[in-house]
Amino acid sequence: MNIFKSSLLATAVMAAGTASVFAADSTTFNVRITIVTACDVDAAAATDVDFGSVASTAVNTDNAGALNVRCTLLTPYNIALDNGENGTSVTDRKMSDGGTNLVPYQLYRAATRGAGDVWGATINTDTFGGIGTGLVQNIPVYGRVPSANFPAGSYNDVVTATIIY
Protein backbone atom coordinates (compact mmCIF):
# COMPACT_ATOMS: atom_id res chain seq x y z
CA MET A 1 0.00 0.00 0.00
CA ASN A 2 2.82 2.43 0.80
CA ILE A 3 4.44 1.78 -2.59
CA PHE A 4 1.15 2.55 -4.31
CA LYS A 5 0.75 5.87 -2.42
CA SER A 6 4.35 6.91 -3.17
CA SER A 7 3.94 6.08 -6.83
CA LEU A 8 0.67 7.97 -7.07
CA LEU A 9 2.17 11.01 -5.30
CA ALA A 10 5.21 11.04 -7.62
CA THR A 11 2.96 10.87 -10.67
CA ALA A 12 0.81 13.76 -9.39
CA VAL A 13 3.88 15.93 -8.67
CA MET A 14 5.33 15.31 -12.14
CA ALA A 15 2.04 16.06 -13.81
CA ALA A 16 1.62 19.27 -11.85
CA GLY A 17 5.18 20.40 -12.62
CA THR A 18 4.89 19.91 -16.35
CA ALA A 19 1.30 20.87 -16.86
CA SER A 20 1.17 24.04 -14.70
CA VAL A 21 0.57 27.29 -16.54
CA PHE A 22 0.47 30.48 -14.46
CA ALA A 23 -1.75 33.37 -15.48
CA ALA A 24 -1.17 37.01 -14.48
CA ASP A 25 -3.01 40.28 -14.82
CA SER A 26 -2.04 43.79 -13.72
CA THR A 27 -3.47 47.24 -13.27
CA THR A 28 -2.22 50.69 -12.33
CA PHE A 29 -3.41 53.15 -9.71
CA ASN A 30 -2.56 56.70 -8.68
CA VAL A 31 -1.07 57.89 -5.41
CA ARG A 32 -1.97 61.51 -4.66
CA ILE A 33 -1.64 64.27 -2.10
CA THR A 34 -2.59 67.91 -2.26
CA ILE A 35 -0.48 70.08 0.01
CA VAL A 36 -2.03 73.40 0.93
CA THR A 37 -0.15 76.43 2.12
CA ALA A 38 -0.26 77.00 5.87
CA CYS A 39 1.28 79.43 8.32
CA ASP A 40 0.82 79.85 12.03
CA VAL A 41 2.08 82.01 14.85
CA ASP A 42 2.67 79.94 17.99
CA ALA A 43 1.11 82.04 20.74
CA ALA A 44 2.42 79.75 23.49
CA ALA A 45 6.00 80.23 22.32
CA ALA A 46 5.88 84.03 21.93
CA THR A 47 8.03 85.94 24.42
CA ASP A 48 6.91 89.28 25.80
CA VAL A 49 8.73 92.55 25.29
CA ASP A 50 9.37 93.22 29.00
CA PHE A 51 11.13 96.48 29.80
CA GLY A 52 11.45 95.52 33.47
CA SER A 53 11.66 98.04 36.32
CA VAL A 54 13.25 101.38 35.43
CA ALA A 55 13.69 104.75 37.11
CA SER A 56 11.36 107.54 36.00
CA THR A 57 14.43 109.32 34.63
CA ALA A 58 15.21 106.52 32.15
CA VAL A 59 15.24 107.31 28.43
CA ASN A 60 15.36 105.00 25.41
CA THR A 61 14.81 101.84 27.42
CA ASP A 62 15.21 98.93 24.98
CA ASN A 63 14.30 95.27 25.16
CA ALA A 64 13.10 92.53 22.81
CA GLY A 65 10.69 89.64 22.63
CA ALA A 66 10.02 87.14 19.86
CA LEU A 67 7.37 85.46 17.77
CA ASN A 68 7.67 81.89 16.52
CA VAL A 69 6.13 81.22 13.12
CA ARG A 70 6.01 78.18 10.90
CA CYS A 71 5.00 78.36 7.24
CA THR A 72 4.95 75.85 4.42
CA LEU A 73 8.29 75.62 2.60
CA LEU A 74 8.81 78.54 0.16
CA THR A 75 5.59 80.31 1.20
CA PRO A 76 5.97 84.10 1.36
CA TYR A 77 4.41 85.66 4.46
CA ASN A 78 4.00 88.98 6.24
CA ILE A 79 3.55 89.50 9.98
CA ALA A 80 1.48 92.51 11.02
CA LEU A 81 1.31 94.02 14.52
CA ASP A 82 -1.71 96.07 15.53
CA ASN A 83 -1.86 99.31 17.58
CA GLY A 84 -2.25 97.46 20.86
CA GLU A 85 -5.18 98.10 23.19
CA ASN A 86 -4.26 101.70 23.99
CA GLY A 87 -2.74 103.10 20.80
CA THR A 88 -4.54 105.07 18.14
CA SER A 89 -2.12 103.91 15.42
CA VAL A 90 1.05 101.82 15.07
CA THR A 91 3.09 104.99 15.55
CA ASP A 92 1.17 105.84 18.74
CA ARG A 93 1.31 102.70 20.90
CA LYS A 94 0.86 103.14 24.65
CA MET A 95 0.96 101.04 27.81
CA SER A 96 -1.67 101.76 30.46
CA ASP A 97 -1.57 101.55 34.23
CA GLY A 98 -5.26 100.59 34.16
CA GLY A 99 -6.23 104.16 34.85
CA THR A 100 -5.60 107.37 32.94
CA ASN A 101 -1.79 107.19 32.74
CA LEU A 102 -0.31 106.06 29.43
CA VAL A 103 3.37 105.42 28.61
CA PRO A 104 4.31 105.62 24.91
CA TYR A 105 6.44 102.85 23.42
CA GLN A 106 7.31 101.51 20.00
CA LEU A 107 7.89 98.10 18.38
CA TYR A 108 10.41 97.59 15.59
CA ARG A 109 11.38 95.00 12.97
CA ALA A 110 15.12 95.68 13.34
CA ALA A 111 17.50 96.11 16.27
CA THR A 112 18.51 99.54 14.98
CA ARG A 113 15.05 100.80 16.00
CA GLY A 114 15.02 103.50 13.32
CA ALA A 115 11.94 105.39 12.14
CA GLY A 116 11.75 103.16 9.06
CA ASP A 117 11.83 100.04 11.25
CA VAL A 118 8.50 100.68 13.05
CA TRP A 119 6.48 97.47 12.90
CA GLY A 120 2.94 98.01 11.71
CA ALA A 121 0.11 96.42 9.77
CA THR A 122 0.44 97.63 6.15
CA ILE A 123 1.69 94.78 3.97
CA ASN A 124 4.91 95.53 2.07
CA THR A 125 5.25 98.83 3.92
CA ASP A 126 5.78 98.24 7.64
CA THR A 127 5.15 94.52 8.21
CA PHE A 128 7.82 91.87 8.66
CA GLY A 129 8.18 89.76 5.50
CA GLY A 130 9.72 86.35 5.20
CA ILE A 131 9.75 83.04 3.32
CA GLY A 132 8.60 79.81 4.99
CA THR A 133 11.16 77.09 5.61
CA GLY A 134 8.72 74.46 6.85
CA LEU A 135 10.40 74.79 10.26
CA VAL A 136 9.76 77.13 13.18
CA GLN A 137 11.36 80.54 12.61
CA ASN A 138 12.10 82.80 15.57
CA ILE A 139 11.27 86.42 14.69
CA PRO A 140 12.59 89.08 17.12
CA VAL A 141 10.35 91.97 18.17
CA TYR A 142 12.41 94.97 19.27
CA GLY A 143 10.88 97.51 21.64
CA ARG A 144 11.73 100.93 23.00
CA VAL A 145 10.25 103.22 25.65
CA PRO A 146 11.54 106.71 24.76
CA SER A 147 10.88 108.13 28.23
CA ALA A 148 9.82 106.70 31.59
CA ASN A 149 8.93 110.16 32.97
CA PHE A 150 5.46 109.10 34.14
CA PRO A 151 3.82 108.32 37.49
CA ALA A 152 5.18 105.21 39.23
CA GLY A 153 3.15 102.08 38.55
CA SER A 154 2.89 98.96 36.43
CA TYR A 155 2.01 99.57 32.79
CA ASN A 156 0.87 97.04 30.21
CA ASP A 157 -0.45 96.71 26.68
CA VAL A 158 -1.55 93.75 24.54
CA VAL A 159 -0.52 93.65 20.88
CA THR A 160 -1.95 91.21 18.33
CA ALA A 161 0.35 89.63 15.75
CA THR A 162 -1.31 88.43 12.52
CA ILE A 163 0.39 86.38 9.83
CA ILE A 164 -0.75 86.94 6.25
CA TYR A 165 0.23 84.43 3.56
What CATH number corresponds to the domain at position 70? 2.60.40.1090
27 part of a folded domain? no
Q: How many domains does the chain have?
A: 1
How far is 144 from 104, CA to CA, in rounded Å? 9
pLDDT at 42: 83
In a domain, 135, yes or no: yes
Is residue 106 situated within a structural domain? yes
Tell whether 22 is covered by a domain: no
Q: What is the pLDDT of residue 44?
A: 74
Residue 87 falls within a domain, yes or no?
A: yes
Residues of the chain predicted below pLDDT 70: 1-20, 43
Distance in angstroms (rounded) separating the CA atoms of residues 127 and 18: 79
Cβ atoms 79, 127 nearer than 8 A: yes
* Domain boundaries, position 104: 39-164
SS3 state at 73: coil
For the whole model, what pTM was predicted? Answer: 0.81
pLDDT at 43: 66
Helix and strand numbers (H, E) in the chain are 1, 8
Considering the domain boundaries, does residue 23 fall inside one? no
100 in any annotated domain: yes
Residue 1 domain-assigned?
Answer: no
Separation of alpha carbons 45 and 20, rounded Å = 67
